[in-house]
Amino acid sequence: MATPCMRVVAATLSPALLGVAACALGLGGGCSSVRAVDVPQVACDALPSWREGAAKERIVDIVARATAAGSPEFVPVEDRIAVFDQDGTLWAEQPFYVQLAFAVDRVKALRDAHPEWETEEPFASILRRDPRAVAAQGEAAVAKLMAATHGGMTVDEFRATVRAWLDDARHPETGLLYRDMVYQPMLELLAYLRTNGFRTFIVSGGGTEFVRAFAAERYGIPTEQVIGSEAKFVYDADGPRSEVRSTGEIVFLDDRVGKPIGIMRRIGRRPTMAFGNSDGDLEMLEWTVAGDGVRLAAIVHHTDKAREWAYDRDSKVGRLDRALDRAGGDGWLLIDMARDWATIYPAATARDR
């Protein structure tokens, strides 16, 4: 029989995440009665994969203060906005970004149609199985790669291509499907915030349409609540039906200063909470806490070499240096993966025990 907790969350989650929410809400626990405009905190343990400690306590405390009717720190439902970086915050990003792995596989799939790629960079490096060399060639090479592998398709075609790839593509080190390398504690946090009236958004440096292909299924976040780097679109009315196609050319980079700009362009409000993991999220974090009232800036610090990866200042992917200093000096929440998370991925592996 559905408990009150389950009924509250079922109204805010996609079917793919109801199982996560049921676990997160403890099945047998009870919740306070809920009104549409006054959503209180969940009384049962909504964050079971978070170890008891300062990080979990601070999140629960801020949510309680923001949602308690009559509290001087009460945040109206329309202002309850939580934004999340994706790579390294919601799913794994080592040893290279998942979208880059997708582009690499696309080059291999399109190889026969482009014999010139055998000697033309950055494609030649990919065909030599050296994706790190692509990253070393800089932003121009990555932009060229994205245009060649992401352009020309309609939006529906591109999203279907991404979904099909995610059905089979596996991480070279863990052997897990990339789509299964989402962080269980963050899935619980997303569900917990939505239960308490927050709208959750992804704000990623990755491509908007790439993330939109799976955001609803993986995170319970609808396509219109995904903000990312944007490609140029063209309108095509020459076929049997009109379509919108991507050229693959990047016209807006949603990274660093682009993140608060992208949030303002798409949402029009300063978030109440922001979660990131790298220097690319610094401006989003500092802009979030610069507002009035109760605020939270949080960084997922990758400290768990045994179950995931340990990296920060010296990493070429997801470098955390300036933001790490700011977290310590400005009182931002530093989520220590090894200390604060009891599990990493939804499906436990040998690295996740």
39-87 pLDDT per residue, tens:
444 447 899 999 999 999 999 999 999 999 999 999 999 999 999 999 9
User: Token pair of 323, please?
Assistant: 């933001």
Q: Where are the beta strands (DSSP E) in 157-301?
A: 199-207, 226-236, 243-252, 273-276, 296-301
Q: Any idea what DSSP says for residue 234? A: E
What pLDDT does residue 1 have?
41
Q: Any idea what DSSP says for residue 282? A: H
pLDDT, one tens digit per residue, over 231-290 is 999 999 998 999 999 999 999 999 999 999 999 999 999 999 999 999 999 999 999 999
Number of Cβ within 10 Å of residue 191's Cβ equals 27
Name every residue whose Cβ is closer than 8 Å to that of residue 71 and which is 6 or more positions away in sequence.
65
What pLDDT does residue 60 have?
97
What pLDDT does residue 22 have?
45
- Which residues, in sequence order, are bridge partners of residue 229? 207
Name every residue whose Cβ is closer than 8 Å to that of residue 210 and which is 6 or more positions away in sequence.
99, 102, 150, 158, 162, 228
Percent of the chain with pLDDT over 70: 86
Domain 49-94+176-340 has CATH 3.40.50.1000: yes
Rounded Cα–Cα distance for residues 165 and 266 (Å) = 28
Q: Which residue has the tokens 């917990």?
A: 192
Portions of the chain given CATH number 3.40.50.1000 = 49-94+176-340
Percent of the chain with pLDDT over 90: 79
What pLDDT does residue 32 have?
37
Whole-structure pTM value: 0.87
